Structure 1
Amino acid sequence: MADKANTSTSYLNNLSAYASSLSVEAKERYSVKLLYNTGTKSLPDPYAIAEKWSSDPSTWPDLTFGDIYLYLIDTPSIYTKESMKAYKSLEAYK
C-alpha cells in the first residue's frame, strides 16, 4: 500500500485541469484509480487526453466510415444486421 501511495503522490503533478481542481484526498483517490499492474504503472489521465484532443485535432485518431461500421455492426453483439433492419416493427416507429 505504501508503494501505491508513493506512486500516486508523484503522479499528482501530471493531472488534468479537472483533476487538479479536486481536493487533495480526491486527487489521491483519482490517481490510485488510474494505477494498474499492482500499482507499478499508471494509466494516462483521461481528462488530460480529452483536453489535448479538443485543442489539437491533428492528434485525433484516423477513423473512417468502415471502421465505425465494423465496430458498431460487425462486432459480435446482441445487435445484428437483421435486427437493425427490423426497425419498422418497433412500436416507436409506428
Structure 2
Amino acid sequence: MALFSGNQKNTAQNVYTNMRTYLAQKDGAVHVVLINSFSQLANQVFKCDEKYTTEIDYVLNCMQREGYEILDIKFNSIPNQGMTGNRTGFNTLITYR
C-alpha cells in the first residue's frame, strides 16, 4: 500500500472514533452519516486515490464489524479545494441500518 497509508489509517481511526457518537442505534430503521474528506495531493494522474480509499474503507469496515448494514454509498466531488486549491473535496453519504 501507499507510503502514507499508516497515517491515513490513523486519521480514519480518529474520524471513526468521533463519528461513532453520531451513528444511530441499531433499530432496524435506515440512517445516514456524511463524511467530508479530501483527495491525496497531486491527484492529476489516472490511479487509485489511496488516501480516500484507505480512509473510507476503514470507516466502512468499522461500521460493518460493529453490526451496521451498509445499504448505499453516494459521493460528490468538488475540485480546486484545500489551502492550495490542488485537491478535490469529497462528500461521502453512507446509508446504513
Please indicate the TM-score interval, normalised by the length of the shorter structure. under 0.3
**Which of the two has greater strand per residue?**
2
Q: Which has the larger radius of gyration?
A: 1
Structure possessing the higher relative contact order (Cα contacts under 8 Å, 6 or more residues apart): 2
Query: Normalising by the residue count of structure 2, what TM-score does the alignment of the two structures yield?
Result: 0.24
Query: Normalising by the residue count of structure 1, what TM-score does the alignment of the two structures yield?
Result: 0.24
